[in-house]
RNA sequence: GCGCUCGUAGCUCAGCUGGAUAGAGCACUGGUUUGCGGUACCAGCGGUCACAUGUUCGAAUCAUGUCGGGCGCACCA
């Protein structure tokens, strides 16, 4: 809708036209301050330019009016335009807001270490990534969702050690002295029990078998991770194991050419000349590769797989890591502009205004699965999708347990359910509703229709700017419009029943489509008894 | 110390490719249709957009500086 108007104006004025939403709806559907920017070139006052421009739109099929107000140019779309667009949307409900794009994107997110269950910080990155994935796919991008499994390096050894400690303490009943760093949490007990079943008790005491134990255990941990992601409606297309990459190391190092060099018995990447603070070690003196080495091979592999664009979603504490990976990509002969790294920031949880207690049982972290159990997947997804991902966030989960308008997710779903209820109560058939033209609706209904039809540009804007919170914001506003309309205007039994029902169908379509893109179920009815 | 980032209503946050009177929810106060789900709606209260300077017809938005918070500054991942 906006694209069409924008294209029309761009053509007419021979320049890019900024279209914005007027603050007050009485100003019209779209507005542009173009007269201000033209004022300088034309050496005329913005008011006069706006007047002239406005009058040049007389009787245009798209607009019922074009007015100039204080130098702004305000457009009001015609009923014909809106009605035809609504018809199209209802007829192609599966396609509403969809596009075709010939771009292949590799989206890597979560990629949490396979050493323990996901915690609340991981959940944010997971929701953010999955929401982007859904938005992008809806817009027609061919996106692959990938999880990178760090199954090499110290943390894997630590996993083996931690299972042994747990098993020795609880199965062999030994007095165990705990080292400074090891993993803790309930999942280790289960893993140690299963390990004994599979390998026998000896594996708990044999230090030389730590690695064997860990490599077996990480698959179990990945199962836990994958299943808790599935609870959030998040699924990955591909998994890449870090351990599988090192066979390629020599070839990749060759490919880096002068990007790597040897010094002090170690291999370094010359990342400083590519804008990093300093050069970094990639292979230690004892020949063990560093974490960066794995990432270099991994990114090489990504680029060799031939995507048009790459997106990584990382925890914000890794932001210092971006320059060195970009440097490696450049040395490998690829365009680092194709690699986009987005950050997901810390989360602090409150419950009833108090800091949420970390669970000892879980090893002093807040488990994602605990929160999902407490407030549900829909609410958790909504919370993370509704805030900018790259700023720190604090939220109180008690707010999302309420069953009233203070809980936005409830509020939106209730709007959808209200529409479904009305539609089911009316005697008019769906066919009849669809045939009826959306004309002479009156001002309130007209506003609602326009709001509902705005969804496609919201989706596009949210994805392109990577600011997924624009979608939940929109849905909340649309739900508010609906509730207000519902309150003001009776529908069943009125003369306008047919077309008002059609209007509501358009609203429901946008709500449902929008919720789906957030990975949230659009309910057809709300039950009062239901307590999350 | 250096780098990144944030500072908007009592609280949690939107708004930031410069544009019309700075928004929402919560909290607080007061109201609502002889009606389709009141699980809703309306109104009020509440702001020096951290501070300063600059650029501009126009700055919450851009630039510079100051103050304050967070994160990073590994041959850990």
Quick count: other Cβ atoms within 10 Å of Cβ A214?
A: 24
Q: Which of the 8 DSSP states describes residue A119?
A: B
Q: Distance between CA atoms of A475 and A481, rounded to whole angstroms? A: 10
Query: Nearest nucleotide (C1') to the CA of residue A350?
Result: B12
Residue A299 to residues A327, A369, A435, Cα–Cα distance (Å)? 11, 31, 54
Average pLDDT over residues A406-418: 91
Q: Tell me, in Å, how far CA of A317 is from C1' of B51?
A: 29
For residue A43, say whether its CB is under 7 Å from any atom of strand B.
no
E strand or H helix that includes residue A31: strand A30-32
Starting at the earlier edge strand, list the strands of the sheet with A260-263: A260-263, A266-269, A280-283
Quick count: other Cβ atoms within 10 Å of Cβ A16?
A: 9
* In contact, A316 and A344? CB cutoff 8 Å: yes
For residue A298, say whether its CB is under 7 Å from any atom of strand B.
no
Q: Domain residue spans in chain A?
A: 2-77, 104-153+233-343, 155-214, 408-517
- Mean confidence (pLDDT) of chain A: 90
Q: Tell me, in Å, how far CA of A388 is from C1' of B64?
A: 27
Q: Distance between CA atoms of A78 and A1, rounded to whole angstroms? A: 12
Q: Distance between CA atoms of A509 and A511, rounded to whole angstroms? A: 6
Residue A531: pLDDT band (50, 70, 90) is: very low
Q: Tell me, in Å, how far CA of A408 is from C1' of B25?
A: 8
Q: Distance between CA atoms of A193 and A15, rounded to whole angstroms? A: 69
Q: Tell me, in Å, how far CA of A35 is from C1' of B61?
A: 21
* In contact, A423 and A505? CB cutoff 8 Å: yes
Residue at minimum CA to C1' distance from nucleotide B36: A492
Residue at minimum CA to C1' distance from nucleotide B40: A483
For residue A153, say whether its CB is under 7 Å from any atom of strand B.
yes
Average pLDDT over residues A512-518: 95
For residue A31, say whether its CB is under 7 Å from any atom of strand B.
yes
For residue A528, say whether its CB is under 7 Å from any atom of strand B.
yes
Q: Which residue has the higher pLDDT, A78 or A109?
A: A109
Average pLDDT over residues A470-481: 93
Residue at minimum CA to C1' distance from nucleotide B11: A353
Q: Which residue has the higher pLDDT, A369 or A94?
A: A369
For residue A491, say whether its CB is under 7 Å from any atom of strand B.
yes
Query: Nearest nucleotide (C1') to the CA of residue A285?
Result: B75
Q: Distance between CA atoms of A3 and A9, rounded to whole angstroms? A: 10
Name A529's Cβ contacts closer than 8 Å, sequence gap at least 6: none
Residue A530 has pLDDT above 50, yes or no: no
Question: Cα A502 from chain centroid?
Answer: 31
Positions of chain B reached by protein Cβ under 7 A = 3-6, 12-15, 19-21, 23-27, 33, 35-37, 39-42, 57-58, 69-77
* In contact, A397 and A120? CB cutoff 8 Å: no
Residue A49 to residues A53, A65, A70, A71, A502, Cα–Cα distance (Å)? 6, 17, 11, 8, 40
For residue A390, say whether its CB is under 7 Å from any atom of strand B.
yes
Q: Which pLDDT belongs to residue A31?
A: 85
> Mind listing the pLDDT tens digit for each residue in A131-142?
999 999 999 999
> Mind listing the pLDDT tens digit for each residue in A216-250?
999 999 999 999 999 999 999 999 999 999 999 99
For residue A418, say whether its CB is under 7 Å from any atom of strand B.
yes
E strand or H helix that includes residue A411: helix A408-425
| The domains spanning A2-77 and A104-153+233-343 adopt the same CATH topology | no
Q: Which pLDDT belongs to residue A353?
A: 78
Q: Which pLDDT belongs to residue A446?
A: 84
Q: Tell me, in Å, how far CA of A34 is from C1' of B53?
A: 30
Query: Are β-strands A104-108 and A280-283 bridged in parallel, bridged antiparallel, or unpaired?
Result: unpaired
Average pLDDT over residues A25-52: 80
Average pLDDT over residues A321-342: 94
Interface residues 66-95 of A with strand B (CB < 7 Å): 69-70, 72, 74
* In contact, A131 and A334? CB cutoff 8 Å: no
Residue A442 has pLDDT above 90, yes or no: no
Q: Which pLDDT belongs to residue A529?
A: 46
CA neighbor of A412 nearest in space, from A491, A520, A305: A520
- The hierarchical CATH code for the domain A408-517 is 1.10.730.10
Residue A76: pLDDT band (50, 70, 90) is: confident
Q: Distance between CA atoms of A51 and A72, rounded to whole angstroms? A: 9
Q: What is the DSSP string of A431-442?
A: HHHHHS---S--
CATH topology for A2-77? Gyrase A; domain 2 (3.30.1360)
Q: Distance between CA atoms of A46 and A129, rounded to whole angstroms? A: 44
b/e map A467-479, b = 16+ CB within 10 Å? ebbbbbbbbbebb
Q: Which residues pair with A104 in a beta bridge?
A: A142
Q: Which pLDDT belongs to residue A239?
A: 97
* In contact, A27 and A69? CB cutoff 8 Å: yes
Q: Which pLDDT belongs to residue A134?
A: 96
End-to-end Cα separation, chain A, in angstroms: 38
CA neighbor of A368 nearest in space, from A110, A160, A107, A155: A110
Average pLDDT over residues A351-365: 82
Q: Which pLDDT belongs to residue A33?
A: 84
CA neighbor of A157 nearest in space, from A225, A223, A233, A217: A217
Q: Distance between CA atoms of A238 and A217, rounded to whole angstroms? A: 20
Class of domain A104-153+233-343: alpha beta
CA neighbor of A204 nearest in space, from A241, A242, A174: A174
What ipTM goes with this model? Answer: 0.93
Q: Which pLDDT belongs to residue A528?
A: 59
E strand or H helix that includes residue A293: helix A291-304
> Mind listing the pLDDT tens digit for each residue in A376-403?
999 999 999 999 898 888 888 888 888 8
For residue A290, say whether its CB is under 7 Å from any atom of strand B.
yes
Length in residues, chain A? 532
Residue A158 has pLDDT above 90, yes or no: yes
Question: pLDDT above 70 covers what percent of chain A?
Answer: 99
Query: Nearest nucleotide (C1') to the CA of residue A528?
Result: B39
Q: Which pLDDT belongs to residue A164?
A: 96
């Amino acid at each position: 809708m906006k694209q069409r108007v924008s294209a029309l104006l761009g053509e007419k004025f021979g320049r890019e036209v900024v279209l914005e939403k007027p603050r007050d709806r009485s100003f019209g559907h779209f507005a542009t301050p173009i007269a201000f920017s033209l004022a300088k070139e034309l050496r005329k006052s913005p008011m006069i330019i706006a007047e002239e421009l406005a009058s040049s739109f007389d009787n245009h099929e798209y607009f019922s009016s074009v007015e100039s107000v204080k130098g702004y140019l305000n457009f009001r779309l015609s009923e014909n335009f809106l009605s035809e667009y609504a018809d199209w949307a209802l007829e192609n409900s599966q396609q509403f807001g969809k596009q075709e794009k010939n771009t292949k994107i590799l989206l890597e997110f979560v990629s949490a270490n396979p050493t323990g269950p996901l915690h609340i910080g991981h959940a944010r990155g997971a929701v953010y990534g999955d929401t982007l994935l859904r938005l992008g796919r809806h817009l027609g991008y061919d996106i692959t969702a990938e999880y990178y499994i760090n199954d090499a390096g110290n943390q894997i050894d630590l996993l083996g050690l931690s299972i042994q400690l747990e098993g020795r303490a609880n199965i062999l009943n030994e007095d165990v002295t705990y080292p400074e760093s090891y993993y803790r949490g309930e999942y280790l007990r289960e893993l140690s029990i299963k390990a004994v079943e599979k390998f026998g008790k000896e594996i708990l005491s044999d230090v030389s078998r730590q690695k064997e134990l860990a490599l077996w255990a990480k698959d179990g941990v990945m199962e836990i991770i994958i299943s808790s992601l599935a609870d959030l409606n998040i699924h990955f297309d591909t998994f890449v194991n870090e351990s599988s990459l090192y066979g390629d190391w020599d070839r990749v190092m060759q490919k880096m050419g002068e990007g790597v060099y040897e010094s002090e018995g170690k291999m370094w990447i010359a990342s400083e000349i590519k804008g990093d603070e300093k050069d970094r070690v990639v292979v230690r003196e004892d020949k063990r590769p560093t974490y960066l080495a794995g990432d270099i091979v991994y990114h090489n592999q990504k680029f060799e797989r031939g995507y048009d664009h790459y997106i990584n979603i990382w925890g914000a504490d890794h932001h210092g890591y971006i320059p060195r990976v970009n440097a490696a990509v450049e040395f490998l002969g690829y365009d680092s502009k194709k690699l986009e790294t987005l950050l997901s920031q810390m989360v602090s949880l409150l419950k009833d205004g108090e800091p949420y207690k970390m669970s000892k049982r879980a090893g002093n972290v807040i488990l994602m699965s605990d929160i999902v159990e407490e407030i549900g997947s829909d609410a958790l997804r909504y919370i993370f999708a509704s805030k900018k991902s790259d700023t720190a966030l604090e939220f109180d989960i008690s707010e999302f347990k309420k069953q009233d308008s203070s809980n936005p997710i409830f509020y939106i779903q209730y709007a959808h359910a209200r529409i479904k209820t009305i539609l089911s109560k009316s005697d008019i058939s769906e066919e009849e509703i669809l045939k009826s033209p959306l004309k002479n609706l009156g001002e309130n209904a007209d506003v609602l229709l326009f709001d509902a039809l705005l969804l496609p540009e919201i989706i596009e804007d949210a994805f392109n700017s990577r600011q997924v919170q624009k979608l939940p914001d929109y849905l909340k506003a649309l739900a508010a419009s609906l509730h207000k309309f519902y309150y003001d205007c009776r529908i069943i039994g009125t003369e306008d029943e047919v077309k008002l029902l059609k209007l509501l169908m358009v609203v429901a379509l946008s709500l449902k489509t929008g919720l789906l893109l957030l990975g949230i179920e659009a309910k057809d009815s709300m039950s009062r008894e239901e307590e999350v």
